Chains A and B, each alone.
Chain A
Amino acid sequence: MSVNYRWVQWNRHKRVYDATAVGAIALFIGAFVIVGSVVYPGERALSGPILLLRAFGVTALLLLHIVLAIGPLARLDRRFLPLLYNRRHLGVMLFFVALGHAALVFLFYGGFGNRNPIMAVLAPDRALSWPSGLPYEKFGFVALMILFAMAATSHDFWLKNLTPRVWKSLHMLVYVAYALLIAHVVFGAMQSERSVLYPVLLSAGVIGLGSLHLLAGLREVSRPRNAEAQLGVELAGWIDAGRTDAIEDGRATVVCPGSGERIAVFRDGDAFSAVSNVCAHQGGPLGEGAIVDGCITCPWHGYQYRAADGQSPPPYTEKIPTYEVRIAGERVYVNPSANAPGTPVEPARLEGKGDG
């Protein structure tokens, strides 16, 4: 959570996360370089810069698969949440690895000649054959520009100033970058390589990622649309969020209204409160979080909100919409009409311990 902007608000987890990520990148690049040098030693050795640019390219693509897998994995299994916490740093590192690949390509393949090195690679004389005629270099370059835009705007300063909606849209372009990079590899490197391993590995990556996203998406889609309550005029239009004892203390159930954002109904002891399921920070699923230190806590980055009014505790300033809650019999009901972000709402309490 933020009050003012710092370059990075370091804590121990971020340090461990980044050190692990840097170590992983060094390991992946090192494994490629070592194996490549052992397989083709001596007079068969690849040129050093080519070996290195391939190592950077392969590592960048591998990292992109990991980065893209973290989101759905964390939705499917909460134990992956620690990987999501500092994913942005992993994304920035991924950009730099990809930049290293591009820089070596421009320098080595595009340099030392009579043209601008970048133009020599991006705009060579037109190739005429299919499929080698496809401009795979441009695919890679556009993907690199998307990764750059994401890395450059990864700080919360941009999230706040671009607005979360614009920021999220920009960062969803990572899927465009992914598609471009797959095309970059298929119509580039794989045109010259003959091993069946490459299409197998690439297909496994694409199918694996697609399946994870599909599974996570299906889980959301299969969440039942909550029916309107049939409780007379007073609660007409309200939504049945289920039995009170079905909500674990300190946790939430997520309610899907017919339209609009999902609603997270939290239980804190005997009190039931409802807020938007969407965190004001990066749109994280608040209903998958928990109440920590008396505050609703987002599972993605730990942003916190008071259940009673949807406001982050001072000095923080984030606000989310709140909803009215009632308890009737053994069930809890939510008014799907959202209050303005930060509007106080009296929690509903179990019978005998205050009215809902």
Chain B
Amino acid sequence: MAEQDRDSGIYVGYLPTPARDKRFLRVLIPVLLWLGAITTGLVAWRMQDPGTGVWNISNEQTWEGVLRADPYPLLEIDGAGETEIVLLVEMGKFGPERARAFDGRRVEVTGFELERDGRRIFELVPEDRAISALSDAPETQTLVSAQLGAVTLRGEIMDSKCFLGAMKPGEGQGHRACAILCIRGGIPPMLVTRDASGNASYYLLVGTDGAGLAPDALDRIGEPAEISGELTRRGDLMMLMIDPGSVRGI
């Protein structure tokens, strides 16, 4: 169809746009662009606070402490006050099975720190240098756990790595598939509860015998759940000893 100078009266894509339509489009397009940008901006503005978790992925560090394989591979770090318990994880969504060989030994651990609300977790570098033993024999002294009694808590079961900073946010419905993948891969599971002001408390989930839960033991990951169990404290870490079958959805 040949292009024409005259106004065809209706809009035809391959002909000059009628003046009436041009005038209309000059108003409509900017209005649409503004409305669209305002809409997406509003949605972004009202997002839930993802929390203060930080993943120092560009800052490789080394820490010293006693490595324990149970209930999950972790590092006991002596400080001025109570012993700090720091969980160990691998890169990606895996628990550090290789750390079990160092059970009870004083070690130097190399990796990256994740931290939220003062709670830390270490991600090991993938190389063998991630853990090096500083002593030949296991430490004879073990940390005593304090039994705090039976409790029933409501919260969400999460993987500790994402919640403490690997994912922002590392909780909620959108993150559920990831949390399941992480826990099934050996990342230690936590119950996170919140008080009326939204402040979070963390409880490492372990079996009724105090040993780590099997990666596929828990259901209702990433869902609102109610859990009953025996509360214990080891160093600065609260642990909830539970029967995985007793987790109830809310």
Contact = CB atoms under 8 A, between A and B. Distances in A.
A302 B15 contact: yes
Interface stretch (B48-56, B99-107, B131-139, B235-243): B48-56
A20 B173 contact: no
Interface residues of A, number: 78
Contact of B94 (A14, A114, A194): A114
A32 B40 CA distance: 5
Interface stretch (B16-24, B67-75, B205-213): B16-24
Nearest to B51: A44
B13 interface: yes
Contact of A36 (B47, B173, B225): B47
B11 A82 contact: yes
Given A44-B50, A86-B13, A132-B223, A201 B94 contact: no
Binding site secondary structure of chain A: helix
A124 B183 CA distance: 12
Given A28-B40, A44-B52, A293 B11 contact: no
A133 B93 CA distance: 23
Contact of A132 (B14, B24, B54, B173): B173
B44 interface: yes
B36 interface: yes
Nearest to A78: B10
Contacts of A23: 33
Contacts of A80: 28
Given A50-B168, A82-B11, A129-B224, A31 B181 contact: no
Given A114-B93, A297-B10, A124 B1 contact: no
A124 B177 contact: yes
Contacts, number: 220
A320 B28 CA distance: 34
Interface string A298-324: 010110100000000000000000000
Interface string A182-210: 00000111011111011001000000000
Interface stretch (B58-66, B80-88, B143-151, B214-222): B214-222
B1 A299 contact: no
B94 A11 contact: no
Interface in B170-224: 171-178, 180-182, 184-185, 219-224
A260 B175 CA distance: 52
Given A39-B44, A201-B39, A46 B168 contact: yes
A129 B49 contact: no
Contacts of A136: 173
B173 A32 contact: no
Nearest to B25: A82
A85 interface: yes
Contacts of B220: 127-129
A100 interface: no
A62 interface: yes
Interface string A34-77: 11100110011111001000110011001000100000000000
B249 A292 contact: no
Find the residue from A33, A44, A136 having the highest chain B CB count within 10 A: A44
A246 interface: no
A347 B250 CA distance: 74
Nearest to B178: A109
Given A31-B37, A201-B39, A201-B43, A78 B11 contact: yes
B43 A13 contact: no
Contacts of B28: 79-80, 83
Contacts of B172: 191-192
A195 B45 CA distance: 10
A224 interface: no
Interface in A10-34: 11, 13-14, 20, 23-24, 27-34
Contact of B221 (A24, A125, A250): A125
A198 B43 contact: yes
B92 A112 contact: yes
B8 interface: yes
12 contacts: A32-B40, A43-B52, A54-B44, A86-B13, A109-B174, A125-B184, A128-B249, A136-B173, A292-B9, A293-B2, A302-B1, A302-B15
Query: 5 nearest interchain CB pairs?
Result: A192-B172, A195-B46, A113-B93, A129-B249, A112-B92
Interface of A: 1, 11, 13-14, 20, 23-24, 27-36, 39-40, 43-47, 50, 54-55, 58-59, 62, 66, 78-83, 85-86, 108-110, 112-115, 120-121, 124-125, 127-129, 132-133, 136-137, 187-189, 191-195, 197-198, 201, 250, 289-290, 292-293, 297, 299, 301-302, 304
